[in-house]
Amino acid sequence: MEKTLSIIKPDAVKKGVIGKIIDRFESNNLRVAGMKKIQLSRADAEAFYAVHKERGFFGELVDFMISGPVVVIALEGEDAMTKNRELMGATNPKEAKPGTIRADFADSIDANAVHGSDSVENAAVEIAFFFSQRELS
């Protein structure tokens, strides 16, 4: 069984669609292995997105990710990483296929509702960033 990390971003938490997004996962055979609602510090967000620190959008991305609480979720299932990315849709919601989470709940490339790990290797690193072993089952 593969694991991946999802983050329900501040825009989607503010809209009150946490449950609707989790339903997309559970209805598509992705099980919640771990979950918590947290307020990221600036240091947390900068460390989590360190790979993007040279990109022009880094500052806005960090500001956005600390603008309110997020829900971090470790998902588990067959092909969990790829399946989650299919369910999310394209990074830019204007390009996301109808029926995807971003097409249905996101407003802009910054406020794009969800994050999903982009490889199985990164998923392991990202899950370890947020969860201790005892928080995963």
DSSP, res 113: S
Number of residues that bind ligand AMP (CB under 6 A): 8
Query: What's CA 83's distance to the chain center, in Å?
Result: 13
Q: Is 52 a catalytic residue?
A: no
Q: Contact between 61 and ligand AMP (CB under 6 A)?
A: yes
CB of 9 to ligand AMP, least distance (A): 7
* Distance (Å) of CA 15 to CA 19, 69, 80, 119: 11, 12, 25, 28
**CA distance between the termini of the chain:** 13
Cα–Cα distance for residue pair 22/27, rounded to 1 Å: 8
Q: Contact between 32 and ligand AMP (CB under 6 A)?
A: no
Q: Footprint of ligand AMP on residues 90-119 (CB under 6 A)?
A: 91, 109-110, 112, 115
CB of 137 to ligand AMP, least distance (A): 26
Binding site for ligand AMP (CB under 6 A): 52, 57, 61, 91, 109-110, 112, 115
